[in-house]
């Protein structure tokens, strides 16, 4: 579908109703706009929350998810590489 639209104040564009319906776009929803070689592309977007884990929480994940003694030893080494003493992290040892 090709349509011509007029750019408004502050660069606003009105996406024709038929295209909005086809894409399921409603007022206030997010879209991605990309500068491509021959113009612009506009696509529906989704926002996803991202959780950022501290180094101590990452260390706990490494230690808690080890499955055997060898994996646990590797996890301890990885935790030490983070600059954290593995013994300072509360966790369950896999042999326990």
- The answer to whether the beta carbons of residues 14 and 3 sit under 8 Å apart is no
pTM over 0.75: no
Which domain, by its residues, includes 75?
55-88
Question: Does the residue 4 lie in any domain?
Answer: no
Domain count, the chain: 2
Question: Does the residue 33 lie in any domain?
Answer: yes
Based on the domain organization, do 34 and 15 belong to the same domain? yes
Q: Which two tokens stand for residue 31?
A: 């879209």
- Rounded Cα distance between 39 and 63, Å, is 49
pLDDT digits (tens, 9 = 90+) for 54-81: 999 999 999 999 989 899 999 999 999 9
Angle at 27 between CA 41 and CA 29, to 5 degrees: 55
Question: Does the residue 94 lie in any domain?
Answer: no
Based on the domain organization, do 37 and 63 belong to the same domain? no
Based on the domain organization, do 84 and 60 belong to the same domain? yes
Question: Does the residue 27 lie in any domain?
Answer: yes
Based on the domain organization, do 14 and 40 belong to the same domain? yes
pLDDT digits (tens, 9 = 90+) for 38-49: 999 988 899 999
Query: How many helices and strands, by DSSP H and E, does the chain display?
Result: 3, 2
Neighbours of 66 (CB within 10 A): 21
Q: How confident is the model at residue 93 (pLDDT cuts 50, 70, 90)?
A: confident
The pLDDT value given to residue 33: 93
């Amino acid at each position: 579908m090709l349509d011509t639209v007029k750019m408004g104040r502050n660069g606003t564009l009105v996406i024709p109703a038929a295209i909005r319906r086809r894409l399921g776009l409603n007022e206030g929803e997010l879209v991605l706009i990309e500068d491509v070689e021959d113009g612009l592309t506009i696509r529906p977007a989704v926002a996803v929350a991202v959780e950022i884990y501290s180094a101590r929480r990452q260390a706990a994940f490494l230690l808690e998810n080890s499955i055997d003694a060898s994996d646990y030893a590797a996890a301890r080494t990885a935790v030490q590489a983070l600059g954290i003493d593995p013994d300072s992290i509360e966790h369950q040892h896999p042999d326990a």
